Amino acid sequence: MNRRSFVAAGTAAALFGTAVPSGFTQDTGSAKPASRFKLKYAPAPGMFRNLAGDDLFDQIKFIHDQGFGAIFDNGLMGKSPEMQEKTARTLTDLGMDLGPFVLYADFGAKSFVQSSPDTRQMLIDKAKQGVETARRTGAKWALMVPGRYDESLEWDYQTANVIENLKHCADVCQQGGLTIVLEPLNPHDHPGLFLTKIPQAYQICKAVNSPACKIINDLYHQQITEGNLIPNINRAWSEIAAFHLGDNPGRQEPGTGEINFKNIFRYLHEKGYTGVLCMEHGIRGKGKEGEQALLDAYRECDNF
C-alpha cells in the first residue's frame, strides 16, 4: 500500500540540520520532560528523526517525552509481526495509543462500488488481515478507502454496493474488536475516487449501521473539498472516530496555511473528544530546527 508516499517523501526532505532545539541539552541530546498536550496528537514514525535518532523506539520515547499521547503508522500492516508486537509493547509501557493504520486503500481499483462476489470476498479477506494486525498491536481503528467510482454505473447503485460491502467488512472487524474508519479524499489531489465528502461518509455509515464502521475526518482534504470544517464535524459527530491533520495549502504543520487549528482543537476539546489526531503532513522547515518548529506549532495550537 503506497497510500502516503508523498508524505513520507516530504518528511524525509525535511530531516536535515544541526541546530539544538529548546528542551534538549547540548551534552547529552536527551529531551527534558514536557507537559502533556490537551488532545491526543499523533506523530508518524520518522517525523522527529533528527531530534530522536533513527531507531523507531527511541523516536516513540521522544514523542512521549514531548507530551504526545499517541503515534500513528499508515504502513503498520506491512511490518513484521515481531516489529508490530514490539511496537505495541512499547506503547503500552508508555501509556500511549496507536492511531488508525491503513487496511485497504487502492486508488486505482473500482472495488467497493462493485457487487461481484469475488470483489466482496477480497474485501472480507482484507478485513480479516486487519483483524490479525489489530490482535498483535492492540490497534482499534483501520482505515479503508472505497476506491474509484464507476462511470458506467448509476451513482445510487454504487452507493448501495459500497454500503453492502462495508456491512460484510464491518461484521468481520466488529468480531475482532476493530473499527473501520472511512476517509473521504479531495478530488483535486485524488481525482476519480468515490468518497469525497463528510456528509457522504456520514450517510454511508448511518446506512451500514455498525459500531465498526465510522469516519476519519482529514481536515486537509475537507478544507479543499467543502470547507465549513467545524459545522461538518458537529453534524457528523456521532460517526467520526478519528482525525487526520494537515494545513492547506501545502499539507504541512498547523500555522503554515489557512486552517484555524487552534479554534478547531478548542472545539474538539470542549466536545470531549479523546480520540487520536494523526499528524499526517510534512514539515515546512529542515533538520532539528524544522522539527522544533513543528513542536512549537502544536504547542501554540494546543494553548487554548
d(CA 289, CA 16): 9
289 is known as an active-site residue:
no
Q: Which residue from 77, 237, 91 is spatially nearest to 142, judged by alpha carbons?
A: 77
Neighbours of 156 (CB within 10 A): 8
d(CA 72, CA 97): 8
Residue type, 241: A
183 is known as an active-site residue:
yes
Catalytic residue among 183, 239, 253, 291: 183
Q: Which residue from 184, 162, 169 is spatially nearest to 233, judged by alpha carbons?
A: 184
- Angstrom CA distances, 148 to 7, 126, 145, 170, 269, stand at 21, 17, 9, 20, 35
Strand partners, 42: 278
The cell numbers describing 203, all together, are: 450517510
* Consecutive H or E run containing 12: helix 5-13
Catalytic residue among 239, 253, 280, 291: 280
Helix (H, G, I), strand (E, B) or coil at 197: coil
Sheet with 101-104, side-by-side order of all strands: 40-42, 276-278, 240-244, 213-218, 179-182, 141-144, 101-104
Question: Phi first, then psi: what are they for 274, rounded to 5°?
Answer: -120, 10
- Angstrom CA distances, 120 to 13, 55, 84, 143, 236, stand at 39, 39, 27, 17, 27
> What single DSSP character describes residue 158?
H
The cell numbers describing 238, all together, are: 456521532
Question: Phi first, then psi: what are they for 223, rounded to 5°?
Answer: -65, -35
| Catalytic positions | 183, 280
